[in-house]
Amino acid sequence: MSFWAVSRGLTPQGKVAPMLNPNQRQFLEDELRYREKLKMLAGGNAIDDVYVRKPDTVDDPLELDKHDSFYKTTKSLLVLFQIMGVMPIHRNPPVRNMPRTGYSWRSKQVMWAVFIYSCQTTVVVLVLRERVKKFITSPDKRFDEAIYNVIFISLLFTNFLLPVASWRHGPQVAIFKNMWTNYQYKFYKTTGSPIVFPNLYPLTYALCVFSWLLSIAINLSQYFLQPDFRLWYTFAYYPIIAMLNCFCSLWYINCNAFGTASHALSDALQATIKGEKPAQKLTEYRHLWVDLSHMMQQLGRAYSNMYGMYCLVIFFTSIIATYGSISEIIDHGATYKEVGLFVIVFYCMCLLYIICNEAHYASHKVGMEFQTKLLNINLTAVDTATQKEVDMLLVAINKNPPIMNLDGYANINRELITTNISFMATYLVVLLQFKITEQRRSQTV
């Protein structure tokens, strides 16, 4: 009953009005409008300015495919993930009441992924055995060579985490893909125009090729800079480094698409505000914005384990490589082998920067920029219903911030970069203190 009292200004004196979340306020507004509609129907009055939320309907799968431009423009990356056995999701046949994207452990995509993973794991086990054998049986080698072994052994272990970190979250990835499909058609039905992703098709295709070329370049550089790095070792690292590059590309593409969708929604909203009685459309725009915010959260939820492992590998590898290179420079001076370590550090930090920076821009475009455009609307020039809808949209943005979160493990933003750098600096200072102390003791003996 407090909902109705608050909405009609009937809260008794001395009592604090309860705060309503966006869902409660939305339910309350719809119920009040529905009652007004019934009263106006009973009185024979016009009801053009009373809007009731439309019920959900089952969309035609052919129409969904027709307006699913995001799937069409990013299909090359999806196919590459299927070929590599990283994410074996599939496209369902156009049948009503069936999601367009699905995941099944009995599908041919999963069977192919198991086959590829088995072949890749065989090579990884052979290389891992050689690496561990050299690491154990050669204790008198230089310190930088031990650091190389630690780094590349840790990279090999990411291969064994693939079924747990990626395949297990296949249903969540399918949900994310279906959210994009449904959102684009809903956007088209609401605004009358589709979401256009300019240059996304050539960008996705180029990133697929670049991911593998960069993997080949990094592995060959380590082959030439390390005397004990054999050529056949690279075949175990090619798909691992390429997978890391492809996940970085996937994150970049989705964050770019979020910004494009938010910009298209804000343009449609501004055009609607200039028309007559825009309150009806503003309610649908509010639903579109909330769906967009939920998609950003679903991206982190679907790939939480993969990107969590991603960040841990970057953090561990950057610390070990930086400490190894500085330690060897202190002991023996700078050589070409230390250049290889710095290449690894630069590569890892670039990946972390791209992921965090793109997440920051996506959250800023969907949240702050969209909210700023709403606040710039001249509310004195619109009717009362429109003012209420603008207020409801602002409340929805405030209560549903578009944050890229890895299923509660960490927020992906620019703050994550500074946090990682500060932790790395702390660990490096402690490790170098031990190194300098040990060096002084050896000189005094």
Label residue 37 by pLDDT band (50, 70, 90). Answer: low
Give residue 6's pLDDT. Answer: 45
Supply the mean pLDDT for the chain: 82
In terms of Cβ atoms closer than 10 Å to its own Cβ (0-12, 13-18, 19+), residue 51 is: buried
Q: Rounded distance, CA 71 to CA 52, Å?
A: 32
Within 13 Å and on the Cβ side, how many CA atoms surround 433? 6
pLDDT band at 331 (very low <50, low <70, confident <90, very high): confident
Most distant pair of Cα atoms in the chain: their distance: 103
Report how far Cα 199 is from the mean position of its chain's Cα atoms.
Answer: 20
Compute the radius of gyration of the chain from its Cα atoms.
27
Give the number of C-alpha atoms closer than 13 A to the C-alpha of residue 180, restricted to the C-beta side.
Answer: 27
Per-residue pLDDT at 179 exceeds 80: yes
**Confidence tier at 256 by pLDDT (50, 70, 90):** very high
| Nearest CA-CA partner of 22 in 302, 382, 391, 423 | 391
Specify the residue for token string 């492992």: 309
Report the distance separating Cα 150 and Cα 262, nearest Å: 44
Q: Are 110 and 286 in contact (CB under 8 A)?
A: no
3-state secondary structure of 102: strand
Cβ proximity of 145 and 338 under 8 Å = no
Q: Name the token pair of 4.
A: 């109705």
Name every residue whose Cβ is closer than 8 Å to that of residue 374 and which is 6 or more positions away in sequence.
269, 390, 393, 394, 397
Tokens 């509310």 correspond to 379
Distance CA 87, CA 101 (A): 12
**Phi, psi angle pair for 101, to nearest 5°:** -115, 135
Give per-residue pLDDT as tens, 343-353.
888 888 898 89
Bridge partners (DSSP) listed for residue 101: 91
pLDDT at 239 over 80: yes
Which residue, 364, 366, 368, is CA-closest to 356? 364
Lookup: tokens for 216: 């080949």
Percentage with pLDDT > 90 across the chain? 28
d(CA 415, CA 360): 9
Hey, what are 434's tokens?
């031990």
Q: Which of 256, 259, 251, 260 is nearest to 299 (CA)?
A: 251
The set of residues, in sequence order, having a beta carbon less than 8 Å from that of 183 and lying 6+ positions away, is 261, 288, 291, 292, 295
Model confidence at 14: pLDDT above 80? no
Q: Which of 403, 400, 195, 175 is closest to 286 using CA atoms? A: 400
State pLDDT tens for residues 424-435.
888 888 878 877
Rounded to an integer, what distance in angstroms lies between the CA atom of residue 272 and that of residue 360? 28
DSSP SS3 for 54:
coil
pLDDT in the model for residue 2: 46
407: alpha, beta or left? (left if phi > 0; alpha if psi -120 to 50): left
Which backbone phi and psi does 253 adopt, to 5 degrees?
-65, -45
| pLDDT value for 223 | 84
- Cα first-last separation, the chain: 83
Q: What is the mean pLDDT of residues 95-112?
A: 89
Kindly list the domain boundaries of the chain, sorted by start residue: 56-443
For residue 58, pLDDT beyond 70: no
